[in-house]
Amino acid sequence: MVPTPGKAKARDGVQPCGPHSVQLRFATGLTSEEYVRQQAWRSATLSHCPLHPKGGCGFARHTPYERVEPPGCLVARYYCPEGHTTFSLLPDCLASRLSSTLADVEEVVEAVESFDESREVLAELLRPDIGRQCALRWMRRRTRAVSALMVTVVGLLPSVLSGCERTLQAFRAALGATRALPALRERVADHLPYLPPPVGFGPRSTPRDRRPGPGQQEGGADPPRPET
Ligand SMILES: [Zn+2]
């Protein structure tokens, strides 16, 4: 289980002007339950600083950060003091920029794809705890993110996804995977720094819903600011 420092190569020699955080892939076939049970963040390692491959920058393991979901889930981090940059190693089972697992995001989007009644009814069924409007935003954030991702990855995997219907069921069949989103993270690993969440580590594609509203419980998905 070796992390893939996707953004690292592009950032070689670059000196960031302020403290910031970079997400890297922790390639693992573990489910979120297995990841938590095995405390697999302990085995997520970076052999050297992505910014300074030759060393000498004080690069070291940093305290892990805790996700809201799933409970008990930590994410390994490293810190480069010279580059003022924290690197977090996100396992393949977890969504980026959403407090969910990729499997949970896929389940929600699949429910939207197959539900015959209104989205309001489905939103209240899926999230009866946060009220209709918050539940709709919660659901919409997931469907929009996955839709944007699907459009982007078709161009990256034309031999696999060209002509594929933009549904998770069709993507799973084309990818030969039981879950499309974790499979996509592996298949487009080299592009993750520039791809939208929940699979990629780049910015969201949609300008709306950038900040969670009251009761949306989206905190904890991204790493907190580094302790400097
Ligand atoms: Zn460094």
Instruction: Show pLDDT as tens, one digit a residue, over the chain (228 residues).
Output: 444 444 433 333 333 345 688 999 999 989 999 999 999 999 999 999 999 999 999 999 999 999 988 899 999 999 999 999 999 999 999 999 888 999 999 999 999 988 888 889 999 999 999 989 999 999 999 999 999 999 999 999 999 998 899 999 999 999 999 999 999 999 999 999 999 999 999 887 655 444 444 334 343 455 554 332
> What's the CA gap between 154 and 163, in Å, rounded?
9
On whether the CB atoms of residues 79 and 85 are closer than 8 A, the answer is yes
Q: Are 108 and 128 in contact (CB under 8 A)?
A: no
Q: Cα torsion for 34, 36, 38, 44, to the nearest 10°?
A: 100
CA–centroid distance, 48 to ligand 1, in Å, is 8
Contact partners, residue 165, CB within 8 Å, separation at least 6: none
Amino acid residing at 127: R
Ligand 1 center to residue 196 CA distance, Å? 26
Ligand 1 mean position, distance from CA 97 (Å): 24
Model confidence, pTM: 0.79
**Residues 103 and 31 sit within 8 Å (Cβ to Cβ):** yes
**Ligand 1 geometric centre to CA of 86 (Å):** 10
How far is the centre of ligand 1, averaged over its atoms, from the C-alpha of 9 (Å)? 13
Structure tokens at 214: 């009251």
